[in-house]
Amino acid sequence: MVGKARKQLQNALASAGYPSHVLVACSGGPDSLALAAIASYFARRGHVDGHPVSVAGVVVDHQLQEGSAEVASRTAAMLRELGLSPVEVRTVEVAATGFGPEAAARDARHAALETAADQLGCDAILLGHTLDDQAEQVLLGLARGSGTRSLAGMRPVRGRLLRPFLGLRRQETLEICRVEELSPWHDPSNSDPAFARSRTRVEVMPVLEEKLGPGVAESLARTAAILQQDADFLEELASETYLSLVQPMEGGIWLPEDAVRELPAALRFRVIAKAAADVGGQQPGYGRLHAAEALLRRQGSAGPVELPGHVSVFRLSLSDLEQERAVPAGAAADSVPRQASPCGKLVFRHQKPSQQ
């Protein structure tokens, strides 16, 4: 078990180009504590496949539970005993973001990890997510009706973030802790039915394993790996298409409606989402994205459709622009007959939120 975990970490570091300074993010739970123990093996050796490596540790205290500071301090002490150096505790404030407490805690944690990596000069941040976490992520994506990107789950590599244990089961990390004589902390929120992820872990996955047979988690994780390849291809193609179409304008950007309409649906929706992000918006949900795409089937100026992040998207008819230019000086704009045009622009603008 330990040998398998070492090999997975070794492969992850090799795929990242053998970073010389590595930071282990550890909550004190069995997954991340097992990862810290495996990383400490390479820290003691001082190299991975002949490439020098040092391993630091960081514990993020979210301050969301009573006694969190004590848990963080105890975890930091275990990391120091394992030989990680330096080891720091980072305390964060979890602010409401509108996307739920789990997402807010994750955002605060990742920000703290990135800052710690910068300050400690670390090239990679190791996270302890397992195959079980990946399977739960895919199930949650299915339940929410998410698209390919969400169903592709967590990536083994995303920037400096590495997840070397996505091929390990949670039970295996518990076994590693037992072998290494470590006493992990068990987060009570992991079994709290108030959280969808906890219900998936405690209630849904065991039923699926019982009714469908063993191997469900592995199948879900394999699905994520396959979809990651598809998502990467579509993402690259959508980026190239978007850059070939986008045009700047005062206060925003626009896309030629005819060209967007002719795109395959898989690209069309991604291009619209990229345009929204380009002007400062957030990833639109299924309903909002379809509402924006429906503007392509309108005639005359239409909209706006409001997207997350204070983005407005609307159709601007080319005939409207032409007729506005044709209005004689001093004449009322509505005195000139207007005709709907099948041609137009899909315009994206970021609207500053109103001050209450």
Is pLDDT at 326 greater than 80 in this prediction?
no
Provide the phi-psi class of 91: left if phi over 0, else alpha when psi is between -120 and 50, else beta. Answer: beta
The per-residue pLDDT for 356 is 46
What is the number of other CB atoms lying within 10 angstroms of the CB of residue 39?
Answer: 29
Domains of the chain, earliest start first: 2-228 (3.40.50.620), 246-350 (1.20.59)
What is the number of other CB atoms lying within 10 angstroms of the CB of residue 304?
Answer: 16
Residues tagged in the binding site annotation = 27-32
Average pLDDT value for residue range 87-113: 83
Residue-wise pLDDT tens digits, 276-313: 999 999 888 888 999 999 999 887 788 799 999 999 99
Residues tagged in the binding site annotation for ATP = 27-32
Residues 6+ apart with CB under 8 A from 48: 10, 13, 14, 18, 42
Average pLDDT value for residue range 256-268: 95
Spacing of C-alpha 194 from chain mean position:
22
Average pLDDT value for residue range 179-207: 89
CB neighbour class for 247 (10 Å; exposed up to 12, middle 13-18, buried from 19): exposed
Q: Phi then psi for 197, rounded to 5 degrees? A: -65, -40
Residue-wise pLDDT tens digits, 40-75: 999 999 999 999 999 999 999 988 888 899 999 999
CB neighbour class for 141 (10 Å; exposed up to 12, middle 13-18, buried from 19): buried
State the pTM of this model: 0.81
Sign of CA dihedral 73, 79, 81, 84: negative
Is pLDDT at 267 greater than 80 in this prediction?
yes
